[in-house]
Amino acid sequence: MTHIRGRFKKAADKKVAEYTSSLPFDWRLYPYDIAGSIAHARMLARQGIISAEDAEAIVKGLKEIKAEIDKGTFKFKTELEDIHMAIEARLMEKVGEAGGKLHTARSRNDQVALDMRLYAKEAIARTMAQIKGFQKALLAVAEANKTVAIPGYTHLQPAQPVLFAHHLLAYFEMFQRDVERFSDCLKRTDVMPLGSGALAGVSYNIDRESVAEELGFKQVSRNSMDAVSDRDFILEYEAAASICMMHLSRLAEELIIWTSAEFGFIELDEAYATGSSIMPQKKNPDVAELARGRTGRVYGNLMALLTVMKGLPLAYNRDMQEDKEGFFETVTTLLATLEVFTGMVATLKVNADNARRALERSYVLATDIADYLVKKGEAFRTAHGIVGKLVRYAISKGKSFHNLSLPEYKKFSSRFEEDVYNVTIEASLAARDVAGGTAPGQVAKALGVAKRVVGEA
């Protein structure tokens, strides 16, 4: 790093170099850093700021460096402060004098902002694709189990029958909003900061638009001070990732509950379950549990960066180097979680018989029986009270609604007739024939819409 210590007589203390270096984690930025430098060098030559020969030497050198890092032969010198210096130092080794011209009309402040935006754009694209793949897996399971009913819960108490597909489609909606959030965050990430220099802009006749075009950016930043000190785009990704992980974590919780012996609504494929070191009977949903647990890290990274940013005066401050590890970890965690969830959901088996038994032993038809009385002329509040007493009685006799005799029903209301036995799980589902409801026709329609959304129909 000697070439940026012009004013100093001493080298940095070894511990200080270690403390301040971002190289152990920001090496990941190398493809973006090199792409940015190539575009910058070409523009400098087009504008006559450096010679075409120098630009050519720089571009050639940078391409070789990329190949070295790709292959793993590049030597990362720990005394270099960051990936930007590591690449520049190697370039000087390779092409000498010309390498020193690359940093004309540029600062590491706009350079790192560019690299992070390029990295974020790719992360957003991959995240959106991965969520879509996961949504397709949800739809396939929903489709394959179209007729399966399960108890729907509120307060984790059996509430009303719902189609299993309806329950999965609820998650489809959450993940669709996640896709939209990432897509929205892309609009603000897709801004090219080079030309902002250290903070005030640069004093050369550069062409920012052409650099933006070469690097595939939709627009250039409008204020140099903002461009070098804005990390909102990372916060937005981390916020969207936190919400998406929260959704995955809720689903994880359901899968954990559904695989329990007490519920037994689903069974995970063996490839997605783990055993216990002591209890041979165990088949544990560790993937779901770890996803639920890792959600904490993703939230933590959002909180960490919000805290880093909150007191920073304009423009660049070294604190901002702290944006990286958390961001990289969040991207890696979210992508990996989506990937394993896709496989786990795609391979799970639904146990329709267990779901049926759970429906029959709970009193999920209570609302429908109250509605039945309402249709016979009872006020809903009175009907609610009657059915409440009926449930209490049925529980005391250890009977389900269907095992109660008509005389038993009539003890609670003379309005009960033989047709009370028509109040079945199927009838209850079919009755919810409202847009967004769980009636089979509505769910089939919703499946069709969802398939169109992910481009499968």
Cα separation, 223 vs 221, in Å, equals: 6
Closer by beta carbon to ligand ARG, 199 or else 246: 199
Cα separation, 229 vs 421, in Å, equals: 68
Nearest-approach distance from CB 110 to ligand ARG, in angstroms: 9
Closer by beta carbon to ligand ARG, 112 or else 287: 112
Q: Are 173 and 244 in contact (CB under 8 A)?
A: no
Q: Does 229 bind ligand ARG (CB under 6 A)?
A: no
Q: Does 117 bind ligand ARG (CB under 6 A)?
A: no
Taking alpha carbons only, the member of 208, 42, 2, 32 closest to residue 111 is: 32
Nearest-approach distance from CB 60 to ligand ARG, in angstroms: 25
Q: Does 316 bind ligand ARG (CB under 6 A)?
A: yes
Nearest-approach distance from CB 117 to ligand ARG, in angstroms: 13
Q: Are 69 and 93 in contact (CB under 8 A)?
A: no
Q: Does 321 bind ligand ARG (CB under 6 A)?
A: yes
Q: Does 109 bind ligand ARG (CB under 6 A)?
A: yes
How many chain residues interact with ligand ARG (CB under 6 A)? 10
Closer by beta carbon to ligand ARG, 22 or else 221: 22
Nearest-approach distance from CB 26 to ligand ARG, in angstroms: 6
From 3, 51, 276, 402, the catalytic residue:
276
Cα 28 → chain centroid: 20
Q: Does 22 bind ligand ARG (CB under 6 A)?
A: yes
Q: Which listed residue (32, 43, 61, 82) binds ligand ARG by CB under 6 A?
A: 82
Closer by beta carbon to ligand ARG, 20 or else 176: 20
Q: Does 442 bind ligand ARG (CB under 6 A)?
A: no
Closer by beta carbon to ligand ARG, 57 or else 227: 227
Q: Mark the segment that binds ligand ARG (CB under 6 A) among 90-98, 188-196, 312-320, 407-415.
A: 312-320
Q: Which listed residue (108, 132, 208, 294) binds ligand ARG by CB under 6 A?
A: 108
Q: Which listed residue (62, 95, 112, 268) binds ligand ARG by CB under 6 A?
A: 112
- Distances in Å between the Cα of 291 and the Cα atoms of 18, 248, 261, 351 are 33, 7, 21, 24
Q: Are 358 and 158 in contact (CB under 8 A)?
A: yes
Closer by beta carbon to ligand ARG, 103 or else 356: 103
Q: Does 110 bind ligand ARG (CB under 6 A)?
A: no
Q: Does 30 bind ligand ARG (CB under 6 A)?
A: no
From 155, 277, 396, 405, the catalytic residue:
155
Q: Are 305 and 242 in contact (CB under 8 A)?
A: no
Cα separation, 287 vs 292, in Å, equals: 9
Taking alpha carbons only, the member of 392, 442, 398, 390 closest to residue 420 is: 390
Nearest-approach distance from CB 9 to ligand ARG, in angstroms: 20
Closer by beta carbon to ligand ARG, 4 or else 352: 4
Q: Does 71 bind ligand ARG (CB under 6 A)?
A: no
Nearest-approach distance from CB 115 to ligand ARG, in angstroms: 9
Closer by beta carbon to ligand ARG, 316 or else 412: 316
Cα separation, 300 vs 322, in Å, equals: 13
Q: Does 318 bind ligand ARG (CB under 6 A)?
A: yes
Taking alpha carbons only, the member of 358, 360, 355 closest to residue 149 is: 355
- Distances in Å between the Cα of 270 and the Cα atoms of 164, 284, 343 are 22, 10, 12
Q: Does 238 bind ligand ARG (CB under 6 A)?
A: no
Nearest-approach distance from CB 452 to ligand ARG, in angstroms: 43
Q: Does 320 bind ligand ARG (CB under 6 A)?
A: yes
Closer by beta carbon to ligand ARG, 236 or else 323: 323
Cis amide prior to 315 (ω within 30 degrees):
yes
Residue 155 among the catalytic residues: yes
Nearest-approach distance from CB 295 to ligand ARG, in angstroms: 26
Footprint of ligand ARG on this chain (CB under 6 A)?
22, 26, 82, 108-109, 112, 316, 318, 320-321
Q: Which residues are catalytic?
A: 155, 276
